Structure 1
Amino acid sequence: MHDLAQNVFAALSPPTRWDYVRVMKHSVFDFLDQSPEAVTHAHLELGDGCGVTIWENNNDRIRYEAPANNTFSLYLKGGTGTYRTDAGRASGYPGAVCIMPEGCDSEWEINKPFRFVHLYLSNERLCSGFVRTHDCDVRRMQIDEATFAENQRMAAPLLQLAQAAYRDDRLQAETAIAEFFGALDPKSTSMSAGLSPHVLRRIDEWIEAHLHEAISLEDMADQAELSSFHFHRMFRLSRGLAPHAWVTERRTQRACALLQTDLPIAQIAATCGFSHQSHMNRVFKRALGTTPAQYRLLHRAGS
């Protein structure tokens, strides 16, 4: 009993500085930002878990150790003096694509100036974008590590993202992100767990019909004829997101469509099931990096 009490109190004790050091994970952006040689030329935040940065680097050595988030890179200018030292010292070139999935270590040596664009995506943003684009189980997504690859389908949207970052053009960036997800072809695979496609479709149709209401986990589980516990586990396996996160995204996407009409923002918030307008403001700021009013102005200006 004494040991158990000690464990409970340890769990409830406030974390120390060293606890934070142990759990903190740096992204590729963080590693580059700490380098005295790497220079940021443009940066565009696209909401929680998504960002675009144009970098220039020279005379540097960089090690990405178990980085957070997934990084997709396109070399814009130069690159022949850039080597991946832990992968046979291959060198880059203009137009080369690199893919660095979350948690994959890599070491780089830069001997000549070069410029490149990075797209950073959290696992949650990557999963939701893939599922929404391809309307399929997230386990059909395959993101393999790549170094100095020729991949025109991925290079084209990454180049558009670089142009959007230079211009601070969120609308162009949103279009490029959509094309990027379209370039991630679903793989063929057999799946023994999770929810079947027709059950997922039924749940999505039910969510769309009830977005204006409060939606509970039990409500969604009923559509799959499962307990709340098993539904949550199997939904996350298939979608890559928790059910509540998926519903919030659907509310946000519905609101984005309605913001291109003349409906008052407060009415849109209610129609999409947000508890109030300020709630929708917070969700938009976190998910898209902008407010509903700013989103409306941006899309009206671009139409």
Structure 2
Amino acid sequence: MRASDSTATFWRDPVLPHIVTRRACHSRACYKAHSHPTFSIGAVDAGGSVFTGSGDAAVRLAPGSLVLVPAGCVHACNPLPDMAWSYQMLHLDAHWLQQHAPALDGDTARVLHCPDLYAQFCAMNALLFSAAGAEEKDLALLAFLAACAGTAADALPSAYKPVPRQLEPVLAVLQAQPLASLQQLAQAAGLSRYQLIRAFRAATGMTPHAYQLNAHINRARSGLQSGTALAQLAHELGFADQSHFQRVFKAHAGITPGRYRS
């Protein structure tokens, strides 16, 4: 299945549920800091972009760069100011990756500078978008991942930090009550709201509110793929209305939920 807007095209297939991939051309879309439950591989095709993780460091990516982003890594990758860029982004189910390419699994984002590997990624992604069979596509993906594992990478500043024990009840509340208030979260940690915001951001790279929004959008992706109506999703995820949901979704995903679903 393909879904596209003026710059982006998605591909996914229920026969290969561990893969979602996209291509974007001449895009000016900017993303808020976010994370995915998937392992992601990005490729810069044209223009310049800046990759930021949960730390303060920013890394400039050039055409031909590949960046590997672990599941759960808080990051953003945006075009240089007043410029457009073209890129590809592959998302892989994290459990599938652990089973089939464990050498790539980790907690640190990495950049690969290898023209041959970039060309192999482009060919593999083009194959995914083609009418080729599922087995041929899966084999091409596995071959690419094996090549990645054998290529030296520049490690970016680690986004992984062990969550302090004091914040573990907060994560438990967020898991059980996705719409929990800041006051409820602060009470779970035994902190003031201000103290919680500072401690939570230092540990996760996001404020509690941003963390909640990111979790809502990741749940929305699954709901959209299963066909849940936009209005129902907006209500279930606690958005003020459908327009609010659409604005937040696009800020995180770079595409409207309607386009993503179709």
Task: State the TM-score, normalized to the length of structure 2.
Answer: 0.49
* Greater share of residues in helix: 1
* Greater share of residues in strand: 2
Q: Which has the larger radius of gyration?
A: 1
- Return the structure number with greater relative CO, CA threshold 8 A, min gap 6: 2
